[in-house]
Amino acid sequence: MANDTDFQADDGAAADEGSTGSTRQSGMIAREVARRRTFGIISHPDAGKTTLTEKLLLFSGAIQLAGTVKGRK
């Protein structure tokens, strides 16, 4: 499903050759922000939502160590 924020990413090297470092960095940040997507995980209790979320964060590099989540008893 395409929308107006979808675009073909490029490395920006040719377009940024004459620009300053801060402009180049701003362009890189803008491209990364445009790539972000938000989604929700909805399921029954004990269906693995936390495990799935933890794996997504681990494999994406957002966290470096996956831990265990224990319920209150």
- Res. 72: pLDDT tops 70: no
pLDDT tens digits for 41-70?
999 999 999 889 889 888 888 888 888 655
Over 28-61, what HEC string results? HHHHHHHHCCCCCCCCCCCCCHHHHHHHHHHHHC
pLDDT at 62: 83
Query: For residue 16, what pLDDT band results from cuts at 50, 70 and 90?
Result: very low
pLDDT at 13: 47
Domain boundaries, the chain: 1-38, 44-73
